[in-house]
Protein backbone atom coordinates (compact mmCIF):
# COMPACT_ATOMS: atom_id res chain seq x y z
CA UNK A 1 0.00 0.00 0.00
CA UNK A 2 2.81 2.35 0.99
CA UNK A 3 4.67 1.52 -2.20
CA UNK A 4 1.52 2.15 -4.28
CA UNK A 5 0.99 5.51 -2.51
CA UNK A 6 4.58 6.57 -3.14
CA UNK A 7 4.22 5.56 -6.76
CA UNK A 8 1.06 7.66 -7.02
CA UNK A 9 2.75 10.68 -5.47
CA UNK A 10 5.72 10.25 -7.82
CA UNK A 11 3.34 10.09 -10.79
CA UNK A 12 1.59 13.28 -9.66
CA UNK A 13 4.92 15.04 -9.14
CA UNK A 14 6.15 13.89 -12.54
CA UNK A 15 2.94 15.05 -14.16
CA UNK A 16 3.32 18.42 -12.43
CA UNK A 17 6.92 18.69 -13.60
CA UNK A 18 5.90 17.86 -17.15
CA UNK A 19 3.06 20.36 -16.93
CA UNK A 20 5.45 23.08 -15.77
CA UNK A 21 7.92 22.12 -18.49
CA UNK A 22 5.18 22.22 -21.10
CA UNK A 23 4.05 25.62 -19.84
CA UNK A 24 7.60 26.93 -19.94
CA UNK A 25 8.03 25.55 -23.44
CA UNK A 26 4.78 27.21 -24.45
CA UNK A 27 5.97 30.55 -23.06
CA UNK A 28 9.32 30.16 -24.82
CA UNK A 29 7.49 29.43 -28.07
CA UNK A 30 5.27 32.47 -27.61
CA UNK A 31 8.32 34.64 -26.94
CA UNK A 32 10.06 33.20 -30.00
CA UNK A 33 7.04 33.97 -32.16
CA UNK A 34 6.85 37.50 -30.76
CA UNK A 35 10.50 38.28 -31.43
CA UNK A 36 11.22 36.16 -34.50
CA UNK A 37 11.86 38.19 -37.65
CA UNK A 38 9.60 38.05 -40.67
CA UNK A 39 12.05 37.35 -43.51
CA UNK A 40 9.90 38.83 -46.28
CA UNK A 41 11.02 42.46 -46.17
CA UNK A 42 10.37 42.74 -49.90
CA UNK A 43 6.57 42.89 -49.51
CA UNK A 44 5.35 46.03 -47.73
CA UNK A 45 1.73 44.83 -47.88
CA UNK A 46 2.55 42.01 -45.44
CA UNK A 47 4.41 44.14 -42.92
CA UNK A 48 1.57 45.91 -41.15
CA UNK A 49 1.77 44.64 -37.57
CA UNK A 50 0.98 47.10 -34.81
CA UNK A 51 4.04 48.02 -32.76
CA UNK A 52 4.15 47.72 -28.96
CA UNK A 53 3.46 50.94 -27.06
CA UNK A 54 7.19 51.15 -26.36
CA UNK A 55 10.05 49.03 -27.61
CA UNK A 56 13.80 49.17 -27.92
CA UNK A 57 15.83 48.42 -31.03
CA UNK A 58 19.56 47.83 -31.09
CA UNK A 59 21.57 48.97 -34.10
CA UNK A 60 24.74 47.09 -34.93
CA UNK A 61 26.81 49.31 -37.22
CA UNK A 62 30.29 49.58 -38.65
CA UNK A 63 31.01 52.10 -35.87
CA UNK A 64 29.57 50.00 -33.05
CA UNK A 65 26.22 49.49 -31.33
CA UNK A 66 23.58 51.89 -30.10
CA UNK A 67 20.00 51.49 -28.87
CA UNK A 68 16.88 53.52 -29.58
CA UNK A 69 13.63 53.50 -27.66
CA UNK A 70 10.48 54.02 -29.71
CA UNK A 71 7.27 55.39 -28.22
CA UNK A 72 4.28 54.58 -30.39
CA UNK A 73 2.09 57.40 -29.06
CA UNK A 74 4.55 59.94 -30.49
CA UNK A 75 3.86 58.84 -34.06
CA UNK A 76 1.79 55.65 -34.44
CA UNK A 77 2.11 55.24 -38.21
CA UNK A 78 5.84 55.86 -38.06
CA UNK A 79 6.43 53.56 -35.10
CA UNK A 80 4.51 50.74 -36.77
CA UNK A 81 6.49 51.08 -39.99
CA UNK A 82 9.84 51.13 -38.19
CA UNK A 83 8.87 48.12 -36.05
CA UNK A 84 7.94 46.08 -39.11
CA UNK A 85 11.10 47.06 -40.97
CA UNK A 86 13.22 45.99 -38.00
CA UNK A 87 11.45 42.69 -37.43
CA UNK A 88 11.56 41.81 -41.12
CA UNK A 89 15.35 42.16 -41.27
CA UNK A 90 15.17 45.10 -43.68
CA UNK A 91 18.11 46.95 -42.13
CA UNK A 92 20.97 44.81 -43.33
CA UNK A 93 23.95 46.45 -45.07
CA UNK A 94 22.03 49.75 -45.21
CA UNK A 95 24.15 52.89 -45.53
CA UNK A 96 24.24 56.11 -43.57
CA UNK A 97 24.28 57.89 -46.90
CA UNK A 98 23.72 61.50 -45.81
CA UNK A 99 25.68 62.55 -42.76
CA UNK A 100 26.05 66.25 -41.97
CA UNK A 101 28.20 67.10 -38.97
CA UNK A 102 26.33 69.05 -36.32
CA UNK A 103 22.99 68.31 -37.98
CA UNK A 104 21.94 64.68 -38.54
CA UNK A 105 22.71 61.29 -40.12
CA UNK A 106 20.23 59.80 -42.59
CA UNK A 107 19.67 56.17 -43.59
CA UNK A 108 17.05 53.75 -44.85
CA UNK A 109 17.36 53.24 -48.61
CA UNK A 110 17.84 49.53 -49.17
CA UNK A 111 21.03 48.43 -50.91
CA UNK A 112 19.13 46.26 -53.38
CA UNK A 113 17.42 48.53 -55.97
CA UNK A 114 14.60 46.02 -56.48
CA UNK A 115 13.75 46.12 -52.77
CA UNK A 116 14.07 49.91 -52.67
CA UNK A 117 11.65 50.20 -55.58
CA UNK A 118 9.01 48.11 -53.77
CA UNK A 119 9.11 50.38 -50.73
CA UNK A 120 9.06 53.64 -52.69
CA UNK A 121 5.51 52.77 -53.62
CA UNK A 122 4.41 52.15 -50.03
CA UNK A 123 4.20 55.48 -48.19
CA UNK A 124 2.48 55.83 -44.83
CA UNK A 125 0.18 58.66 -43.71
CA UNK A 126 1.68 61.56 -41.83
CA UNK A 127 1.63 61.70 -38.04
CA UNK A 128 1.10 64.93 -36.12
CA UNK A 129 4.35 66.11 -34.56
CA UNK A 130 4.14 65.34 -30.84
CA UNK A 131 7.83 64.93 -30.01
CA UNK A 132 10.73 67.24 -30.76
CA UNK A 133 13.86 66.93 -32.88
CA UNK A 134 16.28 67.21 -30.01
CA UNK A 135 19.72 65.62 -29.95
CA UNK A 136 19.36 61.84 -30.31
CA UNK A 137 15.79 61.92 -31.64
CA UNK A 138 14.99 59.29 -34.30
CA UNK A 139 12.77 60.82 -36.95
CA UNK A 140 11.26 59.90 -40.31
CA UNK A 141 12.64 61.69 -43.34
CA UNK A 142 10.13 62.87 -45.91
CA UNK A 143 9.80 64.83 -49.13
CA UNK A 144 6.40 66.42 -48.51
CA UNK A 145 3.01 65.33 -47.16
CA UNK A 146 2.42 61.58 -46.86
CA UNK A 147 5.76 60.58 -48.41
CA UNK A 148 7.34 58.64 -45.53
CA UNK A 149 8.54 55.17 -46.54
CA UNK A 150 11.81 53.78 -45.12
CA UNK A 151 14.12 56.72 -44.55
CA UNK A 152 15.04 58.02 -41.10
CA UNK A 153 17.51 60.35 -39.49
CA UNK A 154 19.07 60.76 -36.06
CA UNK A 155 19.64 64.29 -34.84
CA UNK A 156 23.20 65.16 -33.83
CA UNK A 157 22.00 68.41 -32.25
CA UNK A 158 18.82 70.12 -31.12
CA UNK A 159 17.06 70.71 -34.45
CA UNK A 160 13.74 71.83 -33.04
CA UNK A 161 13.09 74.03 -36.09
CA UNK A 162 12.23 70.76 -37.89
CA UNK A 163 9.21 70.26 -35.61
CA UNK A 164 7.14 72.95 -37.31
CA UNK A 165 8.14 71.54 -40.71
CA UNK A 166 6.28 68.31 -40.00
CA UNK A 167 9.18 65.98 -39.12
CA UNK A 168 7.72 63.69 -36.47
CA UNK A 169 10.16 61.87 -34.13
CA UNK A 170 9.26 58.31 -33.20
CA UNK A 171 11.80 57.83 -30.42
CA UNK A 172 15.33 58.58 -29.29
CA UNK A 173 18.76 57.09 -28.75
CA UNK A 174 19.00 55.94 -25.14
CA UNK A 175 22.37 54.22 -25.27
CA UNK A 176 25.43 54.67 -27.49
CA UNK A 177 24.99 58.24 -28.71
CA UNK A 178 28.78 58.43 -28.71
CA UNK A 179 28.69 55.74 -31.43
CA UNK A 180 26.20 57.78 -33.47
CA UNK A 181 28.50 60.80 -33.18
CA UNK A 182 31.30 58.78 -34.83
CA UNK A 183 29.35 57.95 -38.01
CA UNK A 184 31.44 59.15 -40.93
CA UNK A 185 30.48 62.63 -42.13
CA UNK A 186 33.30 63.21 -44.63
CA UNK A 187 30.99 63.27 -47.66
CA UNK A 188 28.47 65.66 -46.12
CA UNK A 189 25.41 66.83 -48.01
CA UNK A 190 24.23 64.76 -50.95
CA UNK A 191 24.43 65.70 -54.60
CA UNK A 192 23.70 68.03 -56.28
CA UNK A 193 24.03 70.46 -53.36
CA UNK A 194 27.00 68.67 -51.85
CA UNK A 195 29.66 66.09 -52.63
CA UNK A 196 27.79 63.17 -51.06
CA UNK A 197 25.77 60.41 -52.75
CA UNK A 198 22.93 61.19 -55.11
CA UNK A 199 19.71 59.70 -53.72
CA UNK A 200 18.35 58.96 -57.17
CA UNK A 201 21.38 56.85 -57.97
CA UNK A 202 21.17 55.06 -54.63
CA UNK A 203 17.61 54.12 -55.49
CA UNK A 204 18.48 52.80 -58.94
CA UNK A 205 22.01 51.43 -58.39
CA UNK A 206 22.03 50.54 -54.70
CA UNK A 207 25.09 49.63 -52.68
CA UNK A 208 27.12 48.93 -55.83
CA UNK A 209 27.15 52.69 -56.47
CA UNK A 210 27.80 53.62 -52.85
CA UNK A 211 30.64 51.20 -52.25
CA UNK A 212 32.38 52.14 -55.48
CA UNK A 213 32.11 55.93 -55.26
CA UNK A 214 31.86 56.45 -51.48
CA UNK A 215 33.94 53.66 -49.94
CA UNK A 216 34.19 55.22 -46.48
CA UNK A 217 30.49 55.37 -45.68
CA UNK A 218 29.33 53.68 -42.50
CA UNK A 219 26.64 50.99 -42.64
CA UNK A 220 23.99 49.36 -40.50
CA UNK A 221 24.79 45.67 -40.23
CA UNK A 222 21.52 44.79 -38.49
CA UNK A 223 18.79 46.14 -36.24
CA UNK A 224 16.99 43.91 -33.75
CA UNK A 225 14.17 44.40 -31.27
CA UNK A 226 15.60 44.07 -27.77
CA UNK A 227 13.67 41.34 -25.86
What does the pLDDT look like over 1-39, one tens digit per residue? Answer: 434 433 443 343 333 333 333 343 333 333 333 334 445
The whole-number pLDDT of residue 42 equals: 82
What is the residue-averaged pLDDT of the chain? 86
Q: Which of 195, 200, 54 is nearest to 113 (CA)?
A: 200
Strands, DSSP E only, in 64-168? Answer: 64-71, 94-100, 104-107, 137-140, 152-155
Q: Which residue did the predictor score with more confidence, 209 or 27? A: 209
Q: What is the pLDDT of residues 114-143, one digit of tens each?
A: 999 999 999 999 999 999 999 999 999 999
ω into 192 cis (within 30 of 0): yes
Using the predicted structure, report yes or no on whether residue 186 has a pLDDT greater than 60: yes
CA distances to 2, 50, 128, 159 from 164, in Å: 80, 27, 10, 11
What pLDDT, in 10s, does the model give residues 51-61?
999 999 999 99
Nearest to 15, CA basis, from 7, 5, 3: 7
User: What confidence category does residue 43 fall into, taking pLDDT thresholds of 50, 70 and 90?
Assistant: confident
75 CB-near residues (< 8 Å, 6+ apart): 127, 128, 129, 130, 131, 140, 168, 169, 170
- For residue 85, the tally of other CB atoms under 10 A from its CB is 23
* Res. 108: pLDDT tops 80: yes
Q: How confident is the model at residue 41 (pLDDT cuts 50, 70, 90)?
A: confident
pLDDT given for residue 32 in this prediction: 35
Contact at 8 Å (CB) between 98 and 105? yes
Amino acid sequence: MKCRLLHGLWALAAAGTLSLAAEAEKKDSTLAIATAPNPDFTDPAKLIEKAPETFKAQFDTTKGKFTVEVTRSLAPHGADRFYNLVRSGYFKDVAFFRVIAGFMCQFGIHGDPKVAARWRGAPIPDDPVKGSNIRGALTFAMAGPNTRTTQFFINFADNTRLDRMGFAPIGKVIEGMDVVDKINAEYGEGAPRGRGPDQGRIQTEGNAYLKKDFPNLDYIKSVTVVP
